[in-house]
Structure 1
Amino acid sequence: MTTIAWDGRTLAGDRRGNAGGMAYELGKLRRTADGRLLGFSGDIGVGMLMLDWLDRGGARPPQQDTDRWATVLEITPDGACWCHGRDSRWRIEQPFFAIGSGRDFALAAMALGRSAAEAVDLAARFDTGTGNGVDALALAEAPALRVAA
């Protein structure tokens, strides 16, 4: 599937796509004109539609069904992390977060102090849906990390 990770400063994602059991390379991250960072996991076609929708600031998300879906992380210029699912949007209150099939590996790596890019790279060692390199986008001005008490 993929791994997209946010460490509070940088959004990182792998470059592996999969169609019919064949792996290929593609980018899953985007920086919008207003400075937001976007990254998707899930069906490539739906993921690209979601990125386009968020980039345009549309009112209604693209149609998703149980067979074709995508999840998008949206990072606003102030560092807020939003997760967009099939029919909902919620704010992530944790200092780091990950989505996709390699998320557990990425979350463990970031909990141990690794960057988002390092976390995705580590996930690729163990998750067969993650690979083909890592892309990373940093916020223009990274906000201070919030540390949980």
Structure 2
Amino acid sequence: MLADPVRAALDLAEFIGALQSVDATGGPGPEQSNAFRGVPMGDPRDSIAVEARVRPKIEVLKGTGLVDTDAVTEVWKAALAAPAWQKPPVWIHGDLDAGNLLARDGRLSADGGTSRFERSRELGDDFGTLAGSLPVPTTCSSGRTRHG
């Protein structure tokens, strides 16, 4: 269990920043083998972030009280409307899920899902905005976080 969800969010942001500071030249790009993770928002390839997959998931959450679906929808619309990434590719974590985060002494200590790193030209600057709008600390403090 994480002692301080705000600290966990800051630690997670630091991890993402460190990951993106590593040179991604020559790394794998979005392709079938990595479920097209890292494709530009709105890309028609069948990625986990394609409109046909995201909208139904938001709909399922409506009325559950787990998340403000209106806010999530607005973040999704803003992500789709964001300008294309114009900088060099950055590394992204292809499966940044609470189940892949390790905690020790009440703090995030490591990422256990490091086999799915991909380059992205899209999520670099915008990922922080998206992640800040999602309930990562709540998810992480739900007991699903692995302790190392």
**TM-score of the superposed pair, with normalisation by structure 2:** 0.28
Larger helix proportion, structure 1 or 2?
Answer: 2
**Greater strand share, structure number:** 1
